[in-house]
């Protein structure tokens, strides 16, 4: 006889939320519902919504875990492996294998933890490094067309039997109203998985004051010759092709800045620094030099498609990935709390750590589910 599934509600439909929902749904042990204010199946959420970071990301895989942040390194490396595998299995996923070129100065350089782990990693010859930088490295990575990949993951989740409710919640406790039901689902209070990002700052039963925005401003340009992702990490400048001829140029990392307005000075700085790193942005193959810099900058200005502002959901102390509880609004005696799996606060590394943290959330959900199944079997 087929065993019944445990209900789970995932709150949040950004890349962390839908990846986590997909991983849970595919186990066959859980029936999952996603509840979110913004979703990739809603066109308006993908066009004009500065408060939602996922559709406006670059995105690529570039690790940001520190040298001694071993758990974060594991999450990123797990995601690198998964994305590379998905790129081969699902061409329609909008994941493409490529290489990353990273440049920096000798003064600011330290060898990243992943340089010895990723395939085909190497140091570049001096003549391959743009002026103003001293060191260049190359490694295998992936690029993702963020809005299309987000939509693809969401569709994978829906096709696996999940549901989405587009609703704004004031508390995590409200999520249980959207608990999956049916003959194959155990009729009990669901486990709630919190993937709300900055929303955890406002949810009445969470109010995580460690959460804060990190403002990012990026420019989308038409540059079909660019195939590699390129970055100057200390300067926070990067070039990320989306695989369709368009390229994201960034960026900024402005903590606690809530401004949704485009800063023209930032745009100009980004254009100036990125065309220096990558002359292919304007279909040139010779290095950008002080003599041709202004001419190329003017060409790049004419290639602008759109400028986006978004807020990375950063958290003091790093990502929150743990079990917890919140009050059950249906329990007047306040004796029964709702089991919560927290998975939020990924800052600017949501895409490049999403699968690692989704698998980690699955482990926590399994742990909570075992206790619930044991208690239920004794009734």
- The verdict on whether residue 348 carries a ligand-binding annotation is yes
Q: Strand, helix or coil at 191?
A: strand
Note the pLDDT of residue 109. Answer: 85
Cα angle at 148 between 145 and 149, to 5 degrees? 75
Pairwise CA distance, residues 6 & 180, whole Å: 9
Pairwise CA distance, residues 253 & 87, whole Å: 29
Q: What is the DSSP string of 292-343?
A: THHHHHHHHHTTEEEEEEEEEEEETTS-EEEEEEEE-TT-TTS--EEEEEEE
DSSP letter (8 states) at residue 239: E
Cα angle at 140 between 308 and 241, to 5 degrees? 25
Pairwise CA distance, residues 210 & 19, whole Å: 24
Evaluated on CA atoms 278, 280, 283, 286, the torsion sign reads positive
- The verdict on whether residue 356 carries a ligand-binding annotation is no
Pairwise CA distance, residues 312 & 37, whole Å: 17
Q: Which of 240, 254, 300, 302 is nearest to 276 (CA)?
A: 300
Distances 346 to 96, 236, 244, 365 between C-alpha atoms, Å: 23, 17, 27, 19
pLDDT tens per residue across span 133-183: 899 999 999 999 999 999 999 999 999 999 999 999 999 999 999 999 988
Pairwise CA distance, residues 141 & 134, whole Å: 22
User: Range of 363's domain?
Assistant: 4-375
Burial class (CB in 10 A: 0-12, 13-18, 19+), 73: buried
Flag residues of the chain having pLDDT under 50. 1
- The verdict on whether residue 189 carries a ligand-binding annotation is no
Note the pLDDT of residue 1. Answer: 40
Answer for the pair 115, 121: CB distance below 8 angstroms, yes or no: yes
Q: Which of 149, 197, 177 is nearest to 348 (CA)?
A: 197
Evaluated on CA atoms 47, 178, 322, 162, the torsion sign reads negative
How many structural domains comprise the chain?
Answer: 1
pLDDT tens per residue across span 56-105: 787 899 988 888 899 999 999 999 999 999 999 999 999 999 999 999 99
Note the pLDDT of residue 52. Answer: 74
The owner of tokens 């979703």 is: 39
Distances 235 to 75, 252, 265, 277 between C-alpha atoms, Å: 25, 9, 15, 12
Note the pLDDT of residue 200. Answer: 97
Length of the chain: 379
Note the pLDDT of residue 49. Answer: 60
Q: Do the strands 135-144 and 122-123 form a parallel or antiparallel pair, or are they unpaired?
A: antiparallel
If phi > 0 it is left, if psi is from -120 to 50 it is alpha, else beta; for residue 317 that is left
E strands, 52-209, in order: 95-104, 122-123, 135-144, 163-166, 191-194
Q: What is the CATH number of the domain that holds 181?
A: 3.40.50.720
The owner of tokens 């700085």 is: 269
Pairwise CA distance, residues 237 & 101, whole Å: 12
């Amino acid at each position: 006889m087929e065993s019944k599934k445990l209900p789970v509600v995932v709150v949040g439909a950004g890349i962390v939320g839908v990846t986590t929902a997909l991983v849970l749904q595919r186990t066959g042990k859980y029936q999952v519902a996603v509840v979110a204010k913004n979703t990739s199946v809603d066109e308006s959420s993908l066009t004009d919504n500065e408060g939602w970071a996922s559709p406006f990301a670059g995105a690529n895989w570039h690790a940001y875990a520190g040298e001694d942040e071993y758990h974060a390194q594991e999450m990123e490396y797990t995601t690198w492996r998964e994305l590379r595998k998905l790129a081969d299995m699902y061409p329609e996923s909008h994941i493409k294998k490529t290489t990353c070129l990273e440049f920096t100065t000798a003064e600011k350089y330290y060898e990243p933890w992943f340089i010895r782990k990723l395939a085909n990693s190497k140091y570049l010859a001096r003549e391959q490094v743009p002026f103003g930088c001293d060191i260049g490295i190359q490694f295998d990575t992936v690029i993702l067309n963020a809005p299309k990949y987000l939509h693809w993951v969401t569709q994978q989740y829906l096709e696996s039997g999940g549901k989405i409710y587009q609703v704004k919640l004031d508390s995590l406790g409200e999520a249980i109203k959207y608990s999956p039901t049916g003959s194959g689902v155990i009729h009990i209070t669901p486990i709630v998985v919190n993937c709300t990002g900055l929303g955890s700052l406002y949810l009445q039963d969470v109010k995580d004051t460690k959460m804060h925005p990190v403002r990012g401003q990026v420019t989308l340009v038409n540059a079909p010759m660019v195939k590699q992702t390129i970055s100057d990490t200390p300067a926070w400048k990067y070039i990320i092709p989306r695989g369709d001829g368009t390229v994201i140029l960034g960026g900024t990392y402005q903590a606690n800045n809530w401004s949704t307005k485009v800063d023209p000075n930032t745009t100009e700085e980004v254009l100036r620094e990125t065309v220096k790193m990558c002359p292919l942005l304007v279909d040139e193959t010779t290095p950008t030099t002080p003599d041709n810099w202004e001419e190329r900058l003017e060409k790049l200005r004419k290639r602008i498609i759109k400028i986006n502002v978004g807020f990375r959901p950063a958290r003091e102390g790093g990502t929150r990935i743990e079990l917890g509880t919140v009050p059950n609004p249906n329990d007047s005696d306040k004796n029964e709390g709702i089991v919560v799996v927290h998975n939020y606060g990924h800052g600017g590394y949501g895409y490049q750590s999403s699968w690692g943290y989704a698998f980690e959330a699955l482990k926590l959900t399994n742990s909570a589910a075992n206790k619930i199944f044991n208690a239920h079997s004794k009734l």
